Amino acid sequence: MPKTAKSVVHGKPLAPPRIFIYIALLATLLGQPLLKPTSSQTNAISCPDLKVIFARGSGGERYNNNDFLTFKSAMESKLNTSSLSYEIEDLDYPAIGVGADNISVALGALISGGESYAFGESVKQGIANLVSQVNSSVCKNTKYVVAGYSQGAMVVSGALQKLNPSKLIYAATFGDPKIYLPEGFGMIPPACKGDNLSEYRVYVPDCRAYKGLLGAKEPYTTADYAGKVGVWCNKHDIFCSSHYSVSSHTSYDKDNLYEDASRFIFSKIAMEFGFSNEYTSPHDTAILIDSTGSMSSLIEEYKAEALRLAEKTLNAGGRVALYDYRDLNDPYQPTERCNFETCTYETFQAGLAEIVANNGGDADESLLSASLHVMQSLNWNFGSTKSLVILTDAGYHSPDHDGTTFFDVKTLSQQIDPVNFYIITTPGNIATYQPLAEATSGAVASTLDDLSILTDTIIARYDSLPRVEESLEDTGYDAPHLEINNISPLSDTEYKINITTDAEKAIVILNDTILGVTDFTEFTITNLNSNRENVLTLVPFSSDTRGEPVSVQLKNKDSVVPEILIPKTPNTGKN
């Protein structure tokens, strides 16, 4: 149970058991003490096919930090298999350090959400430099990949919506302190049930990850960058998950997440430049074709695209399967033409020839039953990228004639790693299929679109890691929370704070200074600067799990009652 303390001096906490400076935490948060910014390297202007720009974390020496070097090596190993001309750069920006030698710089950035003081100025400089490079008119035909770790991730996410989307192939963030995943909000967040996952969520195992430790960039991205942005947040990373692990934040290189990301990014590059991707993951792609009579005018076009997709999947070392379906009341059962073990290019082509559009009509068909049957019948490979491609001109019964429900299909899809549904249908059915595509992290395309675009998107995916790893049965979780009960001004420069919390401890931050960590429920903040806003932030944590920060803006003795800025803990769903 937290205790009561009487005083703490701003910037100079009293000896234990009073508030104490958590030097060990700060020293390891981003690896190193403050390093002076290096001058930019002088290079002649060149315009390669591709430029990859990485924004390092706090205190990292330009071109000589593990995160950049690991990411660079992973990208080079892929790019060297292509004929592209490319450059990989460590972004020229301060990347100001936040280690034990300069506590006042750093996660006091917590107070301003990383947007003010020395830390914020470093981020702003990085954003300006990155936007200037990507949007430059000098190299009009050069395409860009941008990535960033920690403070550098803030640079990348901060630059989004300012970057020219036509020049950007992909933007990746690692351990972003400004991450925003709305599906992580609530007592039982939708992400813990595999629902409503953000399109840009590539690898965030913690289903309760909601906002970063420095707040959230809302919105994180926009429609102009759909398919061009991805976030990686390590298992218990203090900055982007609901947990409180420092080592998880500093091990993106050791945990091979840069290697994983390089494969994912390279698939995007290969699709952009139109060359074969040797590093794509094995694909298991099942194709399910509506063979009712109303499909007569579309079925040959559908077959041609199905054959193209099968050929590309097989050539990339993947597996394909082919089924057709109608309405159970026709009567007609889903029919297997070939499966993952028996489908070759020739047998797939022969199976397509056997599918004839007849019977039935324009009414809804038995897609839910058919898709459940296909997923249950096939032997899906562990670790493969899994797709169910549906070609139809009709809607579907929900529930189906045999009782199969939307929930049954969504649940099985998620249990199989998941199986992503890609639906090609007529324009009038787009809205009907959008919920099914979203529930399975897939997509819908119209018959009026260029179908090869969807096919290429399916092939280009690299899903090496599951998007969410948390158990769906974990409903007893409750992150620590904290409430500020009372704030008593003792003078213009001194306040007594009283809190209630179920956390073991709380990080105490004032303006641009981390005062330390306390296990007391009452303490005094002294030596306030009357010329500043004096924002106090408390971050509750227990074991390796943190709650959401609670902030209050302190006023001087003669001003209005202090205003609590963030009196909530979103990760628990409590107000």
- Exposure string for 312-351, b = 16+ CB within 10 A, e = fewer: bbbebebbbbbbbbbbbeeebebbbbbbbeebeeeebbeb
More confident residue, 10 or 470: 470
In-domain check, residue 454: yes
Look up the CATH number of the domain holding residue 269. 3.40.50.1820
Q: Does 525 lie in the same domain as 383?
A: no
* Number of domains observed in the structure of the chain: 3
Residue 19 DSSP one-character state: -
**Domain hosting residue 335, numbered range:** 283-460
Asked whether the beta carbons of 550 and 571 are under 8 A apart, the reply is no
Q: Does 454 lie in the same domain as 350?
A: yes
What was the pLDDT predicted at 175?
95
Give per-residue pLDDT as tens, 445-478.
Answer: 887 766 666 666 776 666 556 677 654 444 455 6
User: Taking 60 as the threshold, does the pLDDT of residue 333 lie above it?
Assistant: yes
Q: Does 180 lie in the same domain as 135?
A: yes
In-domain check, residue 23: no
pLDDT band at 29 (very low <50, low <70, confident <90, very high): very low
pLDDT band at 343 (very low <50, low <70, confident <90, very high): very high
β 319-325/283-290 pair status: parallel
Asked whether the beta carbons of 149 and 179 are under 8 A apart, the reply is no
Q: Does 297 lie in the same domain as 253?
A: no
Mean pLDDT of the chain: 80
Asked whether the beta carbons of 574 and 481 are under 8 A apart, the reply is yes
CB 447: neighbour CB atoms within 10 A?
18
In-domain check, residue 16: no
3-state secondary structure 453-477: HHHHHHHHCCCCCCCCCCCCCCCCC
Of the candidates 124, 108, 117, 86, the one whose C-alpha atom is nearest the C-alpha of residue 21 is 108
In-domain check, residue 229: yes
- Identity at 47, one-letter amino acid code: C
What was the pLDDT predicted at 558?
46
Q: Does 256 lie in the same domain as 313?
A: no
DSSP secondary structure string, 59-92? TPPTT-SHHHHHHHHHHHHHHTTS---EEEEE--
In-domain check, residue 470: no
Look up the CATH number of the domain holding residue 551. 2.60.40
Q: How far apart are CA 375 and CA 545, in angstroms?
A: 37
Q: Does 256 lie in the same domain as 111?
A: yes
Domain edge (last residue) among 208, 239, 273: 273
In-domain check, residue 140: yes
More confident residue, 395 or 507: 395
Domain edge (last residue) among 220, 239, 273: 273
Q: Does 523 lie in the same domain as 415?
A: no
Q: Does 138 lie in the same domain as 47?
A: yes
Q: Does 398 lie in the same domain as 309?
A: yes
Q: Does 494 lie in the same domain as 452?
A: no
User: Taking 90 as the threshold, does the pLDDT of residue 162 lie above it?
Assistant: yes
pLDDT band at 418 (very low <50, low <70, confident <90, very high): confident
Contact partners, residue 199, CB within 8 Å, separation at least 6? 226, 227
More confident residue, 306 or 187: 306
Of the candidates 62, 71, 69, the one whose C-alpha atom is nearest the C-alpha of residue 266 is 71
Look up the CATH number of the domain holding residue 374. 3.40.50.410
In-domain check, residue 134: yes
* C-beta pairs of 61-64 under 8 Å, 24+ apart in sequence: 61/35, 62/37, 62/38, 62/90, 62/92, 62/95, 63/38, 63/90
In-domain check, residue 25: no
Residue 487's H or E segment, with its range, is strand 482-491
Domain edge (last residue) among 207, 238, 273: 273
- Where is average pLDDT lowest: 49-58, 158-167, 539-548? 539-548
Q: Does 207 lie in the same domain as 115?
A: yes
Average pLDDT over residues 88-117: 58
Is the pTM of the predicted complex or chain greater than 0.85? Answer: no
Q: Does 336 lie in the same domain as 193?
A: no
Of the candidates 164, 144, 150, the one whose C-alpha atom is nearest the C-alpha of residue 122 is 150
